[in-house]
Amino acid sequence: MLAIGLLILIFVGYLIMYRVYGRFLARKIFLLSSALKTPAYELEDGVDYVPTKKQVIFGHHFTSIAGTGPIVGPAIAIIWGWVPAVLWVFLGSIVIGAVHDFGSLIISLRNQGKSISDYTAKYINRRTRFLFFLVVFLELWIIISIFGLVIASIFKMFPSSVLPVWFQIPIAIVLGKIIYKQNGNLTLSTIVAVIFMYLSVVLGRYIPIEMPELFGIPSTGIWTIILLGYAFIASVLPVTTLLQPRDFINAYQLVVAMGLIILGVFVSGFTGQLEFVAPAIQINPTGAPPIVPFIFITIACGAISGFHSLVSSGTTAKQIKTEKDGLLVGYGGMLTEGALAILVIIAVGAGIGLGHDSIEGGKLFGVAAWNDHYSSWASAGGLGKKVGAFVEGSANMIGTIGIPVEVAIVVMGVFVASFAGTTLDTATRIQRYVITEIFSSTKMPAFKNMYFTTFLAVASAAILAFATGADGQGALKLWPLFGAVNQTLAALALIIITIYLKSKGGMKWLVSGLPAIFMSIVTVWAIVLNQIQYIQDQSLLLGIVNLVVLVIVIWIIIEGGIKFMTIKKR
């Protein structure tokens, strides 16, 4: 019953805070107005700038910011206990993460849909803009490189997910054509599309696809090449052709998946099968770094993530019809992601106890299942372990409502792979924007060509992915940096939002200023601890890149602080 009570308490809390704090931010802090012309209308081009219904853009925004982030973070951080994980996800998403996403979106809407990196020049200076771009480029470079491998690994783990994930593409294209070209009924068309999507899931259950080794290239390498090629094509197509309809379908997939998990929590909870087998608090797990500051770094997307500011000010701001839609999309999207992260915590903290395939073979239950998976930081690490714990725990709970566990595993595998795919699409498109903005002041017309800039984004990611061999795992060399870089970007975005609000006068800046101070402290703290560890491990590459990031972060914090102290109301 504890899991049921926790679920109800958190979800009701999110609804209350959306109506209270979210509306306060919209009406009193950012002063949203439906009269202001958004970039979607101001710069409408039918490719990137497209006015979009709020339910459709919510689907795109949410599936883009989510990816596997709210899954892998909580699935590893729960090793410190489910209580600190729940507290950070709930409180962090309400007062920090949602403010970060919402603020980034609104400022971009008022700056022609420019990225947060670009409008940094306006609110601090051009020197800081360049440094911000370096951090953003590094983050997106790692994301694009690693997410090809992430999806490839999911395909390898769950071959039954391959067919339905790829089948979503023609479904989305047809849906987009019906909605935008033929003015079809959005609700009816979406229902039909979702039905076809789940029929493909059933088909995938009986037709699993396993990629063989080709030309000496392992399956993960083959999938990575295919996925990067797909990312190129998807990122130059008009958003209404594939990006919006596919993300909209995935939003409904989220509703179905979360609905099944919630039903599973209630059924297994009321029947006495579901209990938390994870410890409430475990300060010193074997081999784990200190809980503070690393829980704030490990749980990123479920509470706050710098990548969200790139989506908010990258693709989303170019599609919002009216500022008032920003409350649902920016603030509501983050709370929805927090709700997903809570379900992940319940799945890996309690659901895994309903049955876990032991490393040594056999089935384990209860605390024994937890201990087998989370015996140490190293044993719980790795993509397979993190995703596997969530899929297994969720499938166990869904199984209690009468759906075979094997089918539930396929549903959850498709869910994870689909969300990772939308993140790959969006990250590639945003990297194209970033490259264009970096060279916007130069007289090189090639950097205004979306095919050329998208090629640079994909090619640079491919170089990193295959830097260590044909298996496409080169990005793993820099992956240890991602958490700190991502949360550093979040801290920097909060600084920009704070300076923006300070320029408006009064004490409005406190809503983002206090979170900015907190995130700046914990991220710099984590980067310093990582630097010490890299020196001890003699990890030259990680040490050099991490040191560069540390210098950039401190520089921007200092410049931001100076600007904040000298700014006057405009």
CATH number of the domain residue 350 falls in:
1.10.4160
Spatial separation of the C-alpha atoms in residues 37 and 317, rounded to whole Å: 12
Q: What single-letter amino acid sits at 16?
A: I
Helix (H, G, I), strand (E, B) or coil at 314: coil
For residue 32, give the DSSP letter: -
Range with lowest mean pLDDT among 143-157, 371-385, 526-540: 371-385
- The reported pLDDT for the residue numbered 382 is 63
Of the candidates 210, 201, 204, 303, the residue with the CA atom closest to the CA atom of residue 253: 201
Q: Which residue is associated with the tokens 């260590």?
A: 468
Q: Give the count of alpha carbons within 13 A of 5, CB side only.
A: 4
Q: Give the count of alpha carbons within 13 A of 159, CB side only.
A: 10
State the pLDDT confidence band at 7, using cuts at 50, 70 and 90.
Answer: very high
- The reported pLDDT for the residue numbered 233 is 95
Range with lowest mean pLDDT among 203-207, 298-302, 378-382: 378-382
- The tens digit of pLDDT for each residue in 337-369 reads 999 999 999 999 999 999 887 767 778 889 999
Mean pLDDT along residues 414-428: 88
Mean pLDDT along residues 11-32: 97
**Is the per-residue pLDDT at 373 higher than 90?**
no
Spatial separation of the C-alpha atoms in residues 414 and 408, rounded to whole Å: 10
- The reported pLDDT for the residue numbered 542 is 94
- The reported pLDDT for the residue numbered 381 is 64
Query: In the chain, what is the straight-line distance between the N-terminal and C-terminal CA atoms, in Å?
Result: 54
Spatial separation of the C-alpha atoms in residues 210 and 430, rounded to whole Å: 31
Whole-prediction pTM: 0.93
Mean pLDDT along residues 158-183: 89
Spatial separation of the C-alpha atoms in residues 100 and 112, rounded to whole Å: 19
Tokens, residue 284: 């010193």
Domain count, the chain: 1
Mean pLDDT along residues 113-134: 88
**Is the per-residue pLDDT at 224 higher than 70?**
yes
Specify the higher pLDDT residue, 378 or 75.
75
Spatial separation of the C-alpha atoms in residues 365 and 348, rounded to whole Å: 13
Of the candidates 224, 248, 264, the residue with the CA atom closest to the CA atom of residue 418: 248
Query: How much is the CA Rg of the chain, to the nearest whole Å?
Result: 22
**Is the per-residue pLDDT at 194 higher than 90?**
no
Spatial separation of the C-alpha atoms in residues 150 and 468, rounded to whole Å: 16
State the pLDDT confidence band at 384, using cuts at 50, 70 and 90.
Answer: low
**Is the per-residue pLDDT at 244 higher than 90?**
no
Spatial separation of the C-alpha atoms in residues 295 and 302, rounded to whole Å: 11
Tokens, residue 544: 């050099």
Is the peptide bond between 445 and the residue preceding it cis, with omega within 30 degrees of 0?
no
- The reported pLDDT for the residue numbered 570 is 52
In the chain, % of residues over pLDDT 70: 98
Query: Domain range spanning residue 196?
Result: 2-566
- The reported pLDDT for the residue numbered 140 is 93
Mean pLDDT along residues 62-79: 88
**Is the per-residue pLDDT at 534 higher than 60?**
yes
**Is the per-residue pLDDT at 77 higher than 80?**
yes
Q: Are 352 and 393 in contact (CB under 8 A)?
A: yes
Mean pLDDT along residues 199-225: 91
- The tens digit of pLDDT for each residue in 470-492 reads 999 898 888 889 889 999 999 99
Q: Are 475 and 145 in contact (CB under 8 A)?
A: yes
Q: According to the 3-state scheme, what is the secondary structure of 121-187?
A: HHHCCHHHHHHHHHHHHHHHHHHHHHHHHHHHHHHHHCHHHHHHHHHHHHHHHHHHHHHHHCCCCHH
State the pLDDT confidence band at 67, using cuts at 50, 70 and 90.
Answer: confident
Mean pLDDT along residues 93-113: 97
